[in-house]
Amino acid sequence: MRDVVIATANPGKLVEIKAILHGEFGKFYSLTDMEDQVEVKEDSPFYLENVLKKARKIGDRFNIDTIADDSGIEVAALNGRPGIFSSRYGKDDEDRINKLLFELREVPWEKRGAIFKAYVALYMPEKERSYIFYGSLKGYIGMERRGKSGFGYDPIFYVPEMDKYAAELTMEEKNRLSHRGRALNALKEFLNMDFFRSPKVSKR
């Protein structure tokens, strides 16, 4: 079974990805397992370009299949901010949440709509080929924090279909519903397709 490196140093993200893909790869590595640190500047204004750049650079450096993701939260009342800058919207999760809540302090509930977006790339260096998967989750930015699970903006993201905040979801619920979970489940389905698993046999 093929090994894979997950292009992240975020332990929460690694746990989520392994929970969904645990039967699809042999050993999972994260960037913290690698002796050499590879710097990838995510300087594109587009999620897709950033995720492809990250997956390819890390996959080529270590010559191993690589999964990378680029995700963000887009808030309608803020004209789509923080979007591509979601992970750089403050010094840490607490700071980023405080900033977002402050910017929305006078915005009523019905105008606090938001969407999580995730692009996941699987890059296979020996084939020099990338596969892209997308997932999204619509909801609202709450007035306060709720829940103790998850990471990032989860404590302030309300999921209407579950009547819960993302940080109140179980791991199973989040991996089924979240933007990243949906993208990763699409990747999992792809990995189990016959044309991907089985070598092509020519007919005579």
Per-residue pLDDT tens digits for 110-157: 999 999 999 999 999 999 999 999 999 999 999 999 999 888 999 999
Q: Which of 128, 175, 148 is nearest to 21 (CA)?
A: 175
Choose, from 65, 69, 70, 154, the residue flagged as catalytic.
Answer: 70
Name the DSSP letter for residue 155. G
DSSP state of 33: G
pTM of the entire predicted model: 0.88
Q: What is the pLDDT of residues 10-53, one digit of tens each?
A: 888 898 899 999 989 999 999 999 888 888 888 889 999 999 99
pLDDT band at 93; cut points 50, 70, 90: very high
| pLDDT at residue 198, as a whole number | 52
Residue (of 122, 121, 152) closest to 137 by Cα position: 152
CATH second-level architecture of 4-197?
Alpha-Beta Complex (3.90)
pLDDT confidence tier of residue 2, bands split at 50, 70 and 90: confident
pLDDT score of 194 more than 80: no
**Is 70 an active-site residue?**
yes
